[in-house]
């Protein structure tokens, strides 16, 4: 498994737009966006200027595959949010998912010295909830009928990994370390 991360470029935007509008991806996200290339260019400028977020393009075996991000970098309490997706179905694997998540904890909790990383998952997405648990995450809260998307209400499960807990469980986890390169926001 050769997984690398790099800064998102304008040449990546068509792939990102295609992935983000794929029903297989959006069914577990808060929105079903209708994106345009012009809108994606504005989004890229906005994330580059926003000191509160970082985005990386996921490459698997040298091929563009998805996006991973951190939010809340300016949070004074030291808590981050995070999300990712691998849009190229043929490049998805459990090993990649585990390595992305646990390497993100290394980056956020060790390198960035944050206190905790949070994620919110549609409760019906049992596979991702189980994946987070395999990595050592704990469920913090479940909110019923929390997100309304196109007239349907979804329950949301909130999960957390603290720096203290990651330090305690990291050595018992097996994963291939993925480097999160430094990205300088404008």
Express each pLDDT in 13-31 by its tens digit. Answer: 999 999 999 999 999 999 9
SS3 72: coil
CA-based end-to-end distance of the chain: 32
| Cα 72 to Cα 179: distance, rounded to the nearest angstrom | 20
Sign of the four-CA dihedral 174, 133, 180, 30: positive
The structural domains of the chain, with segments of one domain joined by +, span 3-172
Q: Is 7 buried (19+), middle (13-18) or exposed (0-12) by CB count in 10 A? A: middle
SS3 43: helix
Q: Kindly report the CATH number that applies to the domain delimited by 3-172.
A: 3.40.630.30
pTM: 0.95
Q: How confident is the model at residue 44 (pLDDT cuts 50, 70, 90)?
A: very high
């Amino acid at each position: 498994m050769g997984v690398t991360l790099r800064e998102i470029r304008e040449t990546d935007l068509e792939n990102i737009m295609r992935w983000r509008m794929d029903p297989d991806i959006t069914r577990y996200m808060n929105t079903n966006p209708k994106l345009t290339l012009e809108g994606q260019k504005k989004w890229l400028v906005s994330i580059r200027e926003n000191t509160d977020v970082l985005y990386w393009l996921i490459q698997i075996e040298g091929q563009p595959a998805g996006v991973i991000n951190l939010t809340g970098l300016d949070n004074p309490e030291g808590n981050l949010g995070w999300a990712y997706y691998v849009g190229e179905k043929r490049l998805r694997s459990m090993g990649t998912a585990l390595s992305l998540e646990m390497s993100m904890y290394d980056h956020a909790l060790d390198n960035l010295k944050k206190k905790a990383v949070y994620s919110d998952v549609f409760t019906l997405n049992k596979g991702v909830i189980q994946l987070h648990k395999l990595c050592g995450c704990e469920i913090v809260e479940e909110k019923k009928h929390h997100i309304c998307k196109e007239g349907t209400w979804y329950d949301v499960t909130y999960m957390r990994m603290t720096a203290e807990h990651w330090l305690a469980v990291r050595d018992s986890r097996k994963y291939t370390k993925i480097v999160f390169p430094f990205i300088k926001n404008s």
